[in-house]
């Protein structure tokens, strides 16, 4: 199994409307130096986590890229972010891993939105909405956020996957 902390290069989804957990889980990634294909890496990760859906169903969507993808563990600590995350936020992979995604929130982030996100995640339910987040340089940006719980074959929560797209 490839370790998620491995140096990862990746691209992002573009123009994908969230319609199912399948669309969130996958994007092309290149593992530096080991020759693992982007799809094989994700397939291996999903197999290790025993995700309860077929990766082949999303191959057509993988080609559409430009959004930010964040994978967290069940306790909502970031395990992996894509290159789009770094472009949008200014935070590198190593700066984000291990933190809660709420480190991006700040004074203009709506308390109502924060509470709704918390409520939905506690229920292990999806969340969709607009959020004001903050870049590393302190600048605010508005993004559409879709967060989905991913369950394994035993119906146990395995991860949360968030797809974000900055609104212009």
Could you read off the pLDDT of 17-47 as tens digits, one per residue? 433 344 434 433 333 334 454 456 666 766 7
Q: What is the pLDDT of residues 49-101, one digit of tens each?
A: 676 655 555 444 333 455 777 889 899 999 888 777 888 899 998 999 999 99
- pLDDT for 156 equals 87
Q: Quick one: 152 exposed, middle or buried, by C-beta within 10 A (0-12, 13-18, 19+)?
A: middle
- As a residue count, the chain comes to 168
**Does the reported pTM lie above 0.85?**
no
- Residue 42 located in a structural domain: yes
- Residue 3 located in a structural domain: no
Q: How many domains does the chain have?
A: 1
d(CA 82, CA 106): 22
Q: Quick one: 69 exposed, middle or buried, by C-beta within 10 A (0-12, 13-18, 19+)?
A: buried
- Residue 2 located in a structural domain: no
CATH (domain of 155): 3.30.450.20
The answer to whether the beta carbons of residues 130 and 142 sit under 8 Å apart is yes
How far from the centroid of its chain's Cα atoms is residue 74's Cα? Answer: 13
Q: Which domain holds residue 143?
A: 8-166
């Amino acid at each position: 199994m490839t370790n998620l902390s491995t140096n990862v290069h990746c691209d992002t989804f573009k123009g994908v409307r969230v319609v199912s957990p399948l669309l969130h889980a996958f994007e092309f990634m290149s593992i530096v130096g080991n020759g693992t294909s982007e799809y094989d890496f994700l397939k291996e990760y999903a197999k290790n986590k025993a995700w309860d859906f077929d990766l082949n169903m999303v191959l057509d969507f993988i080609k559409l890229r430009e959004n930010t993808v964040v994978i967290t563990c069940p306790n909502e600590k970031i395990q992996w972010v894509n290159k789009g995350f770094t472009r949008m936020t200014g935070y590198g992979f190593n700066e984000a891993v291990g933190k809660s995604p709420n480190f991006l929130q700040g004074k203009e982030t709506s308390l109502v939105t924060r509470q709704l996100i918390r409520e939905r995640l506690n229920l292990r339910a999806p969340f969709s909405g607009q959020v004001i987040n903050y870049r590393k340089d302190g600048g605010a940006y508005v993004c559409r956020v879709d967060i989905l719980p991913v369950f394994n074959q035993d119906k146990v929560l395995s991860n949360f996957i968030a797809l974000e797209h900055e609104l212009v």
